[in-house]
Every structure is written in C-alpha cells, then in structure tokens.
Amino acid sequence: MNIVVAVKQIPDLQQIRIRDRRPVLDYVPCVLGDIDKSALEAAVELKESVQGRVIVVSAGNGEIEDTVKEALAAGGDEAVLVEDDTLADADSSVVAKVLAAAIRKIDDVGVILFGEGSADNYSGRVVSAVAADLGYPQVGYAKQIEVDGPLARVTRSLEDSDEIIEVPLPAVISVVSEIKEPRIPSVTSILKARKKPKAIYRLDDLGIEIPSGKNITTISNLAPVSERKGIVVKSVDELVKILKSERRLER
C-alpha cells in the first residue's frame, strides 16, 4: 500500500519583505511549507508499517521539479508532478481537481496526507475538494495515524480534547504540525534526491476539464499595520494586568 503526500511550493516566508503592506516576492526562492514537511515525516514513519512507498504529489509552475527535491531528500521515494505555469496562481478548486487527477495515476494508494493548510494562503479548501473528487473519506487535524489492515486509526487534535476515530482506506488525512518534527536531510540524501523517479504531467495529459475564469477573487491581501502602543511598564505584575485588561492572556 502506497502513501501519497501532497506538498505545495510556496515562497520562502523568511525571505519575504513587506512593502506598502504587500509581500515583495521578487527573487524569493521557492520552498516547501513546514506543515507539508511534517506530513511527509509522518508518511515516512507510516511507510515502515505498510511496506509501501512514499509518493510525493505536487502541482505548480516550472520550478516545481526543483522544489520537490526537498521532499525527495527528506524521505519521499518518488514524485508525481503536474507542471504548468498557469498553476502558480490557480484557484484552490482547480488545484484540487489537478491533484485528484494526479493521484488517480498512482497505483495502490492507501493514505493520502496533506498539511492542514498551506503556509502561504492557508485557505484549507484543497483537502476536502480532493477527497470529494476522489470519493474518499476525509479526516482533519490528525496528530497521530496508525494503519491497521484496511483501516486507519487517527487521533485528531481538537481544541480541548483528542478524538480517536477509525476510517476505511483509502482516505484523505490532513495533519497538524505537531504530528512529527520534520527531519533534517543529510547531504547524501540531498544529492540522491535528483536521481529518484519523477513522473511529470502537463495539464493536457490529465484529461480533465479546467473551468475557465476564476471562482475566487481576492479583494484584498494586506499585512496588518503594526503600531507600537508605547506603554511603559515598571513591573511584571503591571504588564500582566495590562495584558489581562486587553484580554490577551485568556486564549
């Protein structure tokens, strides 16, 4: 049984500067989001118990082939990629359709892992749409996954409790970052990543209808204005009091 992990290429958030409250993306390299790397780490651990392969799936523009090396260095066995420049700013509904079509190309899929939301837009819409498209059950907020024959037992991290549920496989599972700390890949695994198998599809190869026009319009996406309040406190007690009065300590 194979484990699929969907990863998304995002701009390196540490290198983004904000100008006029908008992100400046020029010359910012593409990387994988941290939560996707946690999902990958969980997949690599699951692999031991199911004796399958970890297959990384991603859709994006021409840089995706390079970006996915990070996942192949960190334990992915092979990659299935959909490469098209129009995918860089496609709607989540389009991305979901494309990912579902790519996953259909893979044999013997048992578990399909996602990060709970992508580190750049965090719309969190892709996971459900992929599950619906494939007709598989979906589980969110997973912090632990065990595969037991035809079932997966998933511990979900909810606000004030954990919920353990069983789900028949194949299933789509999205994980929270606590599930696993991503590994640091070794130098040799980074160099070997280049040689791992990669299947690269164009949009036309997938045989799906991509709706023309956009379903989603972004009206505004601005960095919050941060203003210092300039309140000087003389003691920790005073600080705590002020934070409490602003209801900042109650979350």
Task: Give the x/- contact pattern for another protein in 107-146, rule: CB under 8 A.
Answer: ----------------------------------------
Assess 8 for contact with another protein (CB under 8 A).
no
Strand partners, 5: 56, 113
Task: Give the x/- contact pattern for another protein in 15-34, rule: CB under 8 A.
Answer: --------------x-----
Tokens of 79: 């990659």
Tell which one of 22, 62, 66, 168 touches another protein (CB under 8 A). 66
Tell which one of 16, 190, 199, 210 touches another protein (CB under 8 A). 190
Q: Give the range of 45-53, 66-74, 117-125, 164-172 binding another protein by CB under 8 A.
A: 66-74
Residue 3 burial (10 A CB sphere; 0-12, 13-18, 19+)? buried
Assess 231 for contact with another protein (CB under 8 A).
no
Tell which one of 48, 187, 225, 251 touches another protein (CB under 8 A). 187
Length of the chain: 251
CB of 82 to another protein, least distance (A): 19
Tell me the residue ranges of DSSP E strands in 45-179. 54-60, 78-83, 109-115, 138-148, 151-157, 162-168, 171-175
Q: How far is CA 131 from the centre of its chain?
A: 15
Distance CA 55, CA 76 (A): 6
Q: Give the range of 65-73, 131-139, 205-213, 214-222 binding another protein by CB under 8 A.
A: 65-73
Assess 51 for contact with another protein (CB under 8 A).
no
Q: How many CB atoms lie within 10 A of CB 25?
A: 13
User: Whose Cβ is closer to another protein: residue 228's or residue 248's?
Assistant: 228
User: Alpha carbon of 225 to those of 12, 16, 18, 222: distances in Å?
Assistant: 22, 16, 11, 9
Assess 73 for contact with another protein (CB under 8 A).
yes
Are 122 and 86 in contact by the 8 Å Cβ rule? The answer is no
- Interface residues toward another protein, by CB under 8 A: 29, 66-67, 69-70, 73, 184-188, 190-191, 193-194, 230
